[in-house]
Structure 1
Amino acid sequence: MYLGELSGLKIGQATRDAFGDALKELGDKYPGIVTVDGDVGNSTRTEVFAHAYPERAFNVGIAESNMVSVAGGLASTGHIPVVASFAAFLLCNAYDQIRMSISFPHMNVKLVGTHAGISIGEDGPSQMGIEDVSLACSLPGMVVIVTADAVSTKAATAAMLEYDGPVYLRLGRPKVSEIYTEGDTFEIGKANTVREGDDVTIIANGLMVAGAIDAATKLAEEGVSVRVIDMHTVKPLDVEAIQKAAHETRAIVVAEEHLSHGGLGSAVAMAVSQANPVPMAYVNVGDCFAESGDPQGLLDKYGLTAAAIIEAVKKVK
């Protein structure tokens, strides 16, 4: 079952596809954009921009650390480098270069990690970015965004290019449910409430937003009123929205396609504990590597489903 099916959501573009389209569309508006690739532009979809602006696209080969260093140099000359690779290759392979060439000098570089999470499926654990949000959040001054659908991805791409400073944008491989419509608001650091409710709040990002909406739809049939918040920006976090939800609904579930430590759940727990502690539960990959398999089968096996979210809600209510 695709996430979003219980609530009648349609399946739209993959977020990586929406990013590629948006980058090309914004090429004229931002003449400083250059792409820096690690020989996977056909997968990250930066090839869409490269075909339109070949003189502004650079492929450094399968050398992620060098790719990031090149981007830092380009930023120092006034360009806006968009560095794209699989999330695992970018954040894990090139972490030190991101730390010293991007984060420490606060360079205006946009890091785009595609194929994040276990939903890449058959490619297996070596290529599954499941710790990337934690790594990115640990870097001082780094904005971290995890989008839920195509519309929000296009808006996030525009927002990160407008923002002056380093950004990490996390994207996925599979097609995902349509959450938003054209013109809906996207603001870095400002969460979106996609469903109102009074009894419990589900805070999610990425493809788990659709799962949260499914869970809320099913729980409504049982008389449970569920608020769903798309926390698309993990850093800076919308602490106000979290603390408001804790005060008004008195229980929180956090759902994310990431390891249990260092991601959205950790950030939300910190915000809740500072002002209004309430019962909390977490839906995530856990403390393990996944395996190669069918994407939906992996989501089912590791509990990244609407059913798992429903179970978590019942634990805190």
Structure 2
Amino acid sequence: MRNAFADELTRLGDEDARVVMLSGDIGNRLFDKFKAKHAQRFFNCGVAEANMMGVAAGMAMNGLRPVAYTITPFITTRCLEQIRTDVCYHEAPVTIVAVGAGLAYSGLGPTHHACEDIAFLRSLPNMVVVCPGDAFEVRAALRASQQQDRPVYIRLGKKGEPVVHSGPLAEFAFGKAITMARGSDACLLSTGNMLPEAIEAAHALEKQGISAEVVSFHTVKPLDETCLSDVFVRFPLVATIEEHSRIGGFGAAVAEWLIDHSVTPRQFIRFGTPDAFFKKSGEQEYAREVLGLSGHQIAAKIADALRQG
């Protein structure tokens, strides 16, 4: 995902002289192409993320299109006050790009995990929260962010994630989910880098004779309410899938929508991380297995729920 982001950013820099890149002292080689072409528009702000966010807000309010980038906890929790007051309060068109969201940096421990950021950012007025599911969604989301006159938060995985879409997304739009596969027995609503796991779960369910629809909910705020209205009518079971705490995340946003619109689901399951720090030692795949977030575990729980329901 991060390689797709760097490449698309370079293209946007070629097209629009307002595009400015701010880095929190990471990914310097990643942006070699951008720096080679637009050296005067690349700023390494150092390990001073709060200052970087203030700089980005100032640039945005003076007609530039800043993109601020670093590891997820450091560009969210470390500078949440500046995001809230400098960026969101002023409706500054800053694109905040977080790398290594969820448990992508699992091996580095809880200081580098990010399972609370969706909850923080979606609670801020004026903020768009986007969680791309693969490299093509990353490219489309970054390009769409430059057409917004408001803050956008883009939550990336790390690198090496499977590419799910077959090609560029010509009709990508914030707040409009993408149906990846049609089904009739259950609907899997996935956000962010869990999309490949959702597709794996659908394949596992198919082997058990269960037809699962898979939808990429790349935008957590605003939600695609039309899609939600449709799937909760059509399906006996709907599940949300995310690599984020079940408190305040995508599943919580959908649950809030259900309450606000007086919709009573037949069965609704939320897959996410528990209300606890993940303190075990292991990489992302191991963490997902421990937390029940791998495709085969998701499929097993859904199949069991359908049998009992």
Question: TM-score interval w.r.t. the shorter chain?
Answer: over 0.9
Query: Which of these residues, 33, 38, 43, is aligned with residue 58 of structure 1?
Result: 43
- Cα deviation for residue 49 of structure 1 reads 2.2
Residue in structure 1 matched with residue 56 of structure 2 by the alignment: 71
Contact 1:243 1:275 in 2 (8 A): no
Note if 1:285 corresponds to 2:273.
yes
Contact 2:91 2:149 in 1 (8 A): no
- How many residue pairs get aligned? The number is 302
Contact 1:282 1:312 in 2 (8 A): no
Residue in structure 1 matched with residue 197 of structure 2 by the alignment: 211
- The one of the two structures with greater contact order (alpha-carbon pairs below 8 A, sep at least 6) is 1
Q: Which amino acid aligns with 2:13?
A: G
Residue in structure 2 matched with residue 102 of structure 1 by the alignment: 87
**Matches of 1:53 and 1:170, distance apart in 2:** 24
SS in 2 for 1:208: helix
Note if 1:166 corresponds to 2:155.
no
SS in 1 for 2:154: strand
Alpha-carbon spacing, 1:277–1:315, altered in 2? closer, same or farther (3 Å) = farther
SS in 2 for 1:309: helix
- Cα deviation for residue 290 of structure 1 reads 1.4
- Cα deviation for residue 254 of structure 1 reads 0.8
**Matches of 1:37 and 1:181, distance apart in 2:** 30
Note if 1:113 corresponds to 2:102.
no
- Cα deviation for residue 262 of structure 1 reads 0.7
Map residues 134-213 of structure 1 onto 2, 5 A cutoff. 134-184=119-169, 185-213=171-199
**Matches of 1:257 and 1:239, distance apart in 2:** 21
**Matches of 2:161 and 2:27, distance apart in 1:** 21
Unaligned 5+ runs, structure 1: 1-14
Q: Which amino acid aligns with 1:122?
A: G
**Matches of 2:154 and 2:33, distance apart in 1:** 17
Query: Which of these residues, 214, 219, 230, is aligned with residue 244 of structure 1?
Result: 230
Deviates further, 285-294 or 165-174? 285-294
Map residues 227-306 of structure 1 onto 2, 5 A cutoff. 227-273=213-259, 274-278=261-265, 279-291=267-279, 292-306=281-295
Q: Which amino acid aligns with 2:246?
A: S
- Cα deviation for residue 275 of structure 1 reads 4.3
- Cα deviation for residue 30 of structure 1 reads 1.7
- Cα deviation for residue 202 of structure 1 reads 0.6
Q: Identical aligned pairs, as a percentage? A: 33
SS in 2 for 1:119: coil
**Matches of 2:34 and 2:216, distance apart in 1:** 28
Runs of 4+ in 1 over 3 A off after TM superposition: 45-48
Contact 1:243 1:271 in 2 (8 A): no
**Matches of 1:51 and 1:313, distance apart in 2:** 50
**Matches of 2:45 and 2:256, distance apart in 1:** 39
- Cα deviation for residue 303 of structure 1 reads 1.6
- Cα deviation for residue 47 of structure 1 reads 4.8
Q: Under a length normalisation based on structure 1, what TM-score does the superposition of the two structures give? A: 0.91
Note if 1:123 corresponds to 2:108.
yes
Deviations 1:146-198 (A, max 9, x none): 01111111111111112221000000113111111223332111000101111
Residue in structure 2 matched with residue 6 of structure 1 by the alignment: none
SS in 2 for 1:242: helix
- Cα deviation for residue 48 of structure 1 reads 4.1
Deviations 1:202-223 (A, max 9, x none): 1011221111111111111211
